[in-house]
Each structure stands twice: as structure tokens, then as C-alpha cells.
Amino acid sequence: MMNTKLSTVIVVGTPTEKPRRQPWGFSQALRLTAFLALILVVVYNVFQFSPVRQRLTWPSPSTEKKTPALELHIISKCPNAMHALTELVLPTIERVHDKVDFKLSIIAREISEDGSVQCLHGPSECEGSTFELCTQEQLYPDSETLVGFVECLTADYHQIPAREHYEACASNHTVDLAPIDRCMARDGGAYGHNLLVESVQHSKDVSVRISGTIRLNEQIYCIRDGPNWTNCPNGPGVDELVDAIEKLHDAASCYDGQVNLAAGYVADVSSKLGLGQ
Ligand SMILES: *[C@@H]1O[C@H](CO)[C@@H](O)[C@H](O)[C@H]1NC(C)=O
Ligand SMILES: *[C@@H]1O[C@H](CO)[C@@H](O)[C@H](O)[C@H]1NC(C)=O
């Protein structure tokens, strides 16, 4: 419109001359450039928000758990804990400690309003549980030593929290007690107490109340309840748990590979289109 008007004005202004081609050619080039720019913007935005791109980059590798999580919830001075550790968790961890992220969590009766914890077998159990949590913090991520040491403590759980018992197990599993003692003494005991409160609260939050509950990737895998194993769709066998962990571990590595491939593909296409990332 404006170009036509401009041309008209020019024609009117210079009636004796032929309409000049230059302004018309210039504005044509301008329109072509604007049109190309528009196409680029449209293509870029379509690409940016297209479902293809979302499928290729979603979910991002960082939001995926790479290592499967194995968790054992225990009451420290309790035979269920001993059976769960000796028969299933320790032999499993010995085989796949490098393929699983292990966590020990504590179960207690309640956390009072004043912040104190009531353990089923009294204050000596709370002390033993705090000691185990301090051990976990000091040894992480060496789950093989942690589980070996805690299994040793629990195999003779009546002796928890006797110092000689800790020392015998520590020497059998090459555990340095000094940093664990420091954790227990830190802030006059408040630090260790806080570890206990957090762990007990966590067990409550995930509704685990039976000592000897084993969870794999946050799902109940098996429970040692009294003399029996219950809630064990795969059975209480070590081979089956090792197998389940290895499958999750391998699936996680394949999945990450695919996501990385896809992300690489997107980056490659983007750079070829000169879109940058
Ligand atoms: C330490 O290991 C020795 C030799 O294997 C064993 O006899 C002893 O019972 C173990 N001690 C504890 C506390 O497990
Ligand atoms: C344990 O299992 C046995 C056999 O399956 C059953 O007879 C018994 O009642 C169970 N005990 C408990 C405490 O669940």
C-alpha cells in the first residue's frame, strides 16, 4: 500500500519522467527479506516447541535416577533386622554394592513434641541406632563396609550399644571408629540426634513400620516379619534381589544412552540449521 502510494506520489511529482524502478526494486528486496525473516522465525518457533523436540529432550538425564536405590528399615535391637541383614541384604550388597545406592533407615515408636525419640527397646537402642546412622554418614558410599559392619552389630543385637561389641565388629570390618565417635559427640550429641529424628521421620513418611522392610526404588520389595518373609513377590532369595537390582541398573544405563543420543541429535540438527543452542 505504502509502496504504491509512494510510487504514485513519485509519478505525480515527476509526470514527464518514466516511473523510476529503483525505489520499487528496493522495497521488493525489503519485502523479500522480511518474508524470509518471518519464515525463519516461524520455523525456529515450530522447532522450539514441537512435540518431536520435547520427546527427544524429555525427560532429561539429570531427572532420571541412574542408580537403583535399596533401602533397609530396621529397629536396631530386633531379630527381624538380623535376619533381613544376614540372609538377604548383606549377601546381596556383597555382590552388587557398585550397582545400587544403599540406605539404612531407622524405625522408632514416636518422635515426641519436645523432639525426643522413643525407641522400642529404650534409650540404649536409640543410642545404637544413632551410632549406625553416624557410621552410614561416615562410610557413604561404601555400602559394602557399612552393611558388613551393621550386620555384625545386629547379629548380636543384645550387645548394642556396648563399646567392646562396636570395637570387635570394627576390627573385623576395618572400620575406623574415631570419625563415628566425633559424629556422636558433635554439638553435644545434637547432630547425631538430628540424624535419628530425620531417619525415623523418613520411615514414618513412607509408612514403613515393620523392622526388616526392604524397599527397592521406593517400592516394598520384601519384609521380614517375625519368623516369615512377607510381601515378597520375587521371593526372599538373594539371586532374585541381585537380579532385580542388575535389571534396574542396566535399564538405567541404556535409558541414559538413548536420551543422550537424542539430545545429541537435537544439538546436531540445530547446529546444521544454524539455530544455536
Ligand atoms: C570377627 O571375626 C572372627 C574370625 O572370623 C570371628 O570369630 C568373630 O566372631 C568375629 N567377631 C564378630 C564380633 O563378629
Ligand atoms: C509364618 O508362616 C507359617 C507358614 O507359612 C504360618 O503357619 C505362620 O502362621 C506364619 N507366622 C506368622 C507370625 O505370620
Confidence check: pLDDT of 50 > 90: no
User: How does strand 110-111 pair with strand 228-230?
Assistant: unpaired
- CA angle (101, 142, 125) in 5-degree steps: 90
Whether 189 is in the pocket of ligand 2, judged by its Cβ within 6 Å, is no
Do the domain assignments include residue 51?
no
Which CATH number fits the domain that encloses residue 199? 3.40.30.10
The model carries a pTM of 0.72
Neighbours of 86 (CB within 10 A): 14
Instruction: Express as a percent the part of the chain with pLDDT over 70.
Output: 74
Do the domain assignments include residue 239?
yes
CA of 242 to the centre of ligand 2 (A): 26
- d(CA 85, CA 73) in angstroms, rounded, equals 10
Domains: count for the chain: 1
Choose the weakest-confidence range: 51-60, 161-170, 223-232. Answer: 51-60
Task: Decide: 238 and 88 in contact? Cβ < 8 Å.
Answer: yes
Mean pLDDT confidence for 99-113: 97
Residue 216 pairs in a beta bridge with 70, 219
Q: How far is CA 231 from CA 66, 106, 269, in A?
A: 26, 20, 49
CA of 66 to the centre of ligand 2 (A): 38
Helix residue ranges per DSSP H, the chain:
2-13, 22-49, 51-57, 79-83, 90-96, 123-139, 143-155, 163-172, 177-185, 190-205, 238-272
Whether 197 is in the pocket of ligand 1, judged by its Cβ within 6 Å, is no
Model confidence over 193-218: pLDDT tens digits?
999 999 999 999 999 999 999 999 99
Do the domain assignments include residue 228?
yes
State which residues form the domain around 77.
67-245
Do the domain assignments include residue 37?
no
Whether 253 is in the pocket of ligand 2, judged by its Cβ within 6 Å, is no
CA of 270 to the centre of ligand 1 (A): 62
Selection from 54, 42, 77 nearest residue 273 by Cα = 42
Whether 175 is in the pocket of ligand 1, judged by its Cβ within 6 Å, is no
Omega within 30 of 0 (cis) for the link into 79: no
Neighbours of 226 (CB within 10 A): 12
Neighbours of 4 (CB within 10 A): 9
Do the domain assignments include residue 226?
yes
- d(CA 249, CA 65) in angstroms, rounded, equals 10
Do the domain assignments include residue 50?
no
Residue carrying the nine cell digits 573385623 = 172
- d(CA 214, CA 183) in angstroms, rounded, equals 26
Residue 217 pairs in a beta bridge with none
Model confidence over 206-261: pLDDT tens digits?
999 999 999 999 999 999 999 999 999 999 999 999 999 999 999 987 765 444 44
Residue 87 makes CB contacts below 8 A (sequence gap 6+) with 224, 236, 238
Do the domain assignments include residue 44?
no
CA of 172 to the centre of ligand 1 (A): 6
Residue of 172, 173, 174, 175 to mutate, ligand 1, most atoms within 8 A of C-beta: 172
Model confidence over 95-104: pLDDT tens digits?
999 999 999 9
Do the domain assignments include residue 55?
no
